[in-house]
C-alpha cells in the first residue's frame, strides 16, 4: 500500500525502500549493501540536487566502505541534509522484511549489524525524514524489535490495519496525500486556539517541537514554558499522557517547521537552546548530589542533553557538557551512557558536523570503552586520562585531574621496574599472587597471561574465553587463578 501510494504524482513524499529478506541472508542483511541500495534510490529521486555530492564519490570508494557508519554518512546522512529543508516534502526510509527466519539455519535480521544501522538512522536523520521498520504481524516479533531499540527515543510499534486509511494515519496525510493534508486542520486549530503566535512561538512551541522524545512536564516548566498556556491552547496538538507531552502526530511538527506555517513557524534552534540550558543546569545539579534515584527529567537531560547542545548552535554549550568526564561517568552510572553516546556519534558524524575538539574526542574515546564503562563507570576518568597524549581529554585531565582519583599512565610512572608486553589488545584486569611470585593479566584479546615478577617474562598464555577477560583473582594458596569474561564464564586455571 505504501509503495502504491508513493507512485501517485500527488503523494507528497519520497519513499526509499530496502527489503532485507531473512530467508536469503547474506548480502541483503549487510548494512553497507542496504545503504548502497537506499543511496542509489535517493540519487535517482533527487538527481539535480545531489549530482555534485554523488559525483564526488568515486566508484572505488562506494564499493569499499569498510564500516557502515562511513557508508551511512556518505550515502544517506549528508545527502538527506541537502534535500530535507524546512519546506521539502518528507522522505520515508522503509526497511522491510525484518521477519523471523524460516529456520534456525537462516540469518535473523535482528541478529546482524543491520539493527545497528537502524539505530544510527534513527538518531541521525533530519526531522523531515522518517524511518519505518516493517516486520511480521507477530506481537512477539514487535516486542523483540521494541526491546532491542529501547535505549533510543521511545516510539510505538503497532500492527498496521489492513484498511488503506491506516497509511493516512501513519503519514499524517490528508485527502491530498503526503504531509500537506495536515496544514488545513492544524492552521484552523491554531487560528481558533485563543492565543496569538507571539504568545506561543517564542518558547513553548519551539521547546515542544525540538524535543527528541516525549518530554517530561517537569522539564517543560523548567525551560520556562507555561504549562497552563499549553493545557489551555494547544493540548490537542501536543497531548499529555502520564506526565509526558508529545506531538499528536509527526506531521504537526513538520507543519510548524515549514515556511507554510507563516507566523506560527517556530524557531527550532531556540527550542534546542532552551532545552540545552536546562539540561546543563540539571546535570550540574546531579553532579552535586551524586547517587540517588533519577527523575524522568534527569534521565531525559542525560540522554538527550548532548543532542540539544550540539543542535543549539552555541559553541560553548556542547563543549561544557561532552568535555566533562563527570558527565559521562554519571551517564554510564544511570545506564544512559550508550544512548547519549549514540546521539553524540551520529551528530558529530552526521548532519550537524561539529569541529569541537571535546565532541570528537568524546565520540572516539567512549566508542572504544562504552561496553566496559556500562559495567564500571568508575573507570571513565582513567580511560579518558589514558587516551592519546594530545587528545582533548588527556590534556585537560593532566592540567586539572578530578578530585579524589589517582590518574597515571604506566609509561610515565617514575619508579617503573619493567613493562610486561604480550597482549595484543586492551588489558582490563591484573592480579598478583599472595607470595608476590606471579602476576596474572586479562585482556580484550580473550587471553589470560601469567608473568614471572622477578624476571619479567611470560610464563603461560591461557586460552579458553571467547570474549574479553574483565576480572582475575588468585586463590589464597596461589595455586589457582580465576578469570571472568564477557562470554559469561568463569574459568579456573592451574597457576603452578
Q: What is the mean pLDDT of residues 156-160?
A: 42
Name the grid cell of 339: 544512548
The model's confidence at residue 441, banded by pLDDT at 50, 70 and 90, is very high
**How far apart (Å, rounded) are the C-alpha atoms in residues 384 and 362?**
8
DSSP 225: -
**How far apart (Å, rounded) are the C-alpha atoms in residues 265 and 271?**
12
pLDDT for position 102: 56
**Maximum mean pLDDT: which of 50-64, 198-212, 223-237, 389-403:** 198-212
**Does this model's pTM top 0.95?**
no
Give the mean pLDDT of the chain: 74
pLDDT for position 247: 80
Domain 427-494 has CATH 2.40.10: yes
pLDDT for position 44: 82
The more confident residue out of 19 and 298 is 298
- Predicted confidence (pLDDT) at residue 407 exceeds the cutoff of 80: no
Checking 367-373 for CB contacts under 8 A at 24+ apart, the result is 367/341, 370/332, 370/337, 370/338, 370/341, 371/468, 371/486, 372/428, 372/470, 373/328, 373/332, 373/337
> 69 phi and psi, to 5 degrees?
-65, -35
Nearby residues of 131 by Cβ (< 8 Å), 6 or more positions away:
93, 95, 118, 121, 122, 125
Q: What is the mean pLDDT of residues 429-444?
A: 92
- Predicted confidence (pLDDT) at residue 23 exceeds the cutoff of 60: no
Query: Could you give the angle at which helices 337-349 and 325-333 cross, rounded to 10 degrees?
Result: 130
- Predicted confidence (pLDDT) at residue 276 exceeds the cutoff of 50: yes
pLDDT for position 42: 85
**Which pLDDT tens digit goes with each residue over 218-241?**
998 999 888 888 777 887 778 888
pLDDT for position 451: 93
pLDDT for position 443: 92
pLDDT for position 74: 82
Cβ atoms of residues 478 and 487 within 8 Å: no
Q: Per-domain residue ranges for the chain? A: 1-100+109-159, 268-397, 427-494
pLDDT for position 156: 42
pLDDT for position 97: 73
pLDDT for position 413: 43
**Maximum mean pLDDT: which of 7-11, 142-146, 238-242:** 238-242
Cβ atoms of residues 370 and 336 within 8 Å: no
- Predicted confidence (pLDDT) at residue 29 exceeds the cutoff of 70: no
Name the grid cell of 99: 521477519
Nearby residues of 367 by Cβ (< 8 Å), 6 or more positions away:
341, 345
pLDDT for position 158: 43
Of the chain, the percentage scoring pLDDT greater than 90 comes to 11
Q: What three-state secondary structure class fits 471?
A: strand
Question: Rg of the chain's alpha carbons, rounded to an integer?
Answer: 26
The model's confidence at residue 480, banded by pLDDT at 50, 70 and 90, is very high
The model's confidence at residue 46, banded by pLDDT at 50, 70 and 90, is confident
- Predicted confidence (pLDDT) at residue 22 exceeds the cutoff of 60: no
The model's confidence at residue 352, banded by pLDDT at 50, 70 and 90, is very low
Q: How many CA atoms lie within 13 A of 141 on its CB side?
A: 17
Cα distances from 77 to residues 39, 42, 193, 232, 345, in angstroms, run 10, 11, 37, 39, 13
The more confident residue out of 207 and 330 is 207
Sign of CA dihedral 440, 446, 447, 453: negative
What is the length of the chain? Answer: 496
pLDDT for position 168: 41
- Predicted confidence (pLDDT) at residue 2 exceeds the cutoff of 90: no
Query: 105, 113, 110, 88: which is closest to 35 by C-alpha?
Result: 113
pLDDT for position 462: 94
Q: What is the mean pLDDT of residues 441-447?
A: 93
pLDDT for position 151: 46
Amino acid at each position: 500500500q505504501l509503495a502504491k501510494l508513493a507512485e501517485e504524482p500527488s503523494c507528497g513524499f519520497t519513499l526509499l525502500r530496502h527489503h532485507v529478506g531473512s530467508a536469503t541472508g547474506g548480502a541483503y542483511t549487510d548494512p553497507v549493501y542496504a545503504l548502497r541500495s537506499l543511496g542509489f534510490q535517493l540519487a535517482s529521486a533527487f538527481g539535480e540536487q545531489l549530482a555534485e555530492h554523488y559525483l564526488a564519490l568515486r566508484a572505488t570508494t562506494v564499493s569499499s566502505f569498510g564500516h557502515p557508519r562511513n557508508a551511512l554518512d556518505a550515502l544517506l546522512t549528508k545527502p538527506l541534509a541537502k534535500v530535507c529543508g524546512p519546506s521539502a516534502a518528507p522522505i520515508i526510509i522503509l526497511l522491510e522484511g525484518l521477519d523471523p527466519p524460516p529456520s534456525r539455519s537462516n540469518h535473523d535480521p535482528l541478529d546482524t549489524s543491520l539493527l545497528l544501522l537502524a539505530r544510527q538512522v534513527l538518531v541521525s536523520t533530519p526531522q523531515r525524514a522518517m524511518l519505518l521498520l516493517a516486520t511480521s504481524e507477530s506481537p512477539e516479533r514487535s516486542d523483540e524489535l521494541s526491546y532491542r531499540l529501547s535505549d533510543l527515543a521511545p516510539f510505538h510499534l503497532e500492527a498496521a490495519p489492513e484498511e488503506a486509511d491506516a497509511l493516512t494515519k501513519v503519514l499524517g496525510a490528508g485527502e491530498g496525500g503526503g504531509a500537506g493534508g495536515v496544514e488545513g486542520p492544524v492552521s484552523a486549530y491554531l487560528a481558533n486556539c485563543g492565543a496569538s503566535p507571539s504568545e506561543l512561538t517564542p518558547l513553548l512551541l519551539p521547546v515542544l517541537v525540538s524535543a527528541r522524545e516525549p518530554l517530561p512536564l517537569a522539564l517543560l516548566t523548567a525551560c520556562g514554558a507555561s504549562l497552563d498556556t499549553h493545557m489551555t491552547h494547544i493540548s490537542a496538538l501536543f497531548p499529555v499522557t502520564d506526565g509526558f507531552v508529545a506531538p499528536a502526530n509527526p506531521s504537526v511538527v513538520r507543519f510548524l517547521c515549514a515556511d507554510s506555517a507563516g507566523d506560527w513557524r517556530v524557531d527550532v534552534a531556540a527550542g534546542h537552546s532552551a532545552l540545552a540550558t536546562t539540561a546543563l543546569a540539571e546535570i550540574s545539579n546531579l553532579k552535586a548530589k551524586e547517587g540517588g534515584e533519577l527523575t524522568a527529567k534527569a534521565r531525559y537531560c542525560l540522554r538527550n542533553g548532548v543532542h540539544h547542545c550540539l543542535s543549539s548552535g552555541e559553541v560553548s554549550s556542547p563543549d561544557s557538557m561532552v568535555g566533562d568526564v563527570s558527565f559521562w561517568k554519571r551517564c554510564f552510572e544511570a545506564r544512559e551512557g550508550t544512548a547519549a553516546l549514540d546521539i553524540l556519534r551520529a551528530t558529530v558524524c552526521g548532519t550537524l558536523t561539529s569541529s569541537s575538539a571535546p565532541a570528537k574526542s568524546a565520540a572516539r574515546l567512549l566508542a572504544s570503552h562504552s561496553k566496559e564503562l556500562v559495567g564500571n563507570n568508575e573507570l571513565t576518568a582513567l580511560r579518558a586520562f589514558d587516551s592519546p597524549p594530545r587528545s582533548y581529554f588527556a590534556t585537560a585531565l593532566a592540567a586539572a585531574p578530578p578530585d579524589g582519583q589517582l590518574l597515571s599512565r604506566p609509561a610515565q610512572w617514575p619508579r617503573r621496574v619493567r613493562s610486561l608486553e604480550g597482549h595484543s589488545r586492551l588489558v582490563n584486569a591484573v592480579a598478583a599472587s599472595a607470595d608476590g611470585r606471579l602476576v596474572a593479566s586479562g585482556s580484550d584479546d580473550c587471553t589470560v597471561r601469567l608473568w614471572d615478577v622477578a624476571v619479567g617474562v611470560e610464563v603461560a598464555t591461557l586460552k579458553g574465553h571467547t570474549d574479553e577477560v574483565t576480572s582475575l583473582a588468585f586463590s589464597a594458596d596461589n595455586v589457582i587463578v580465576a578469570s571472568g569474561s564477557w562470554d559469561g564464564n568463569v574459568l579456573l586455571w592451574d597457576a603452578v
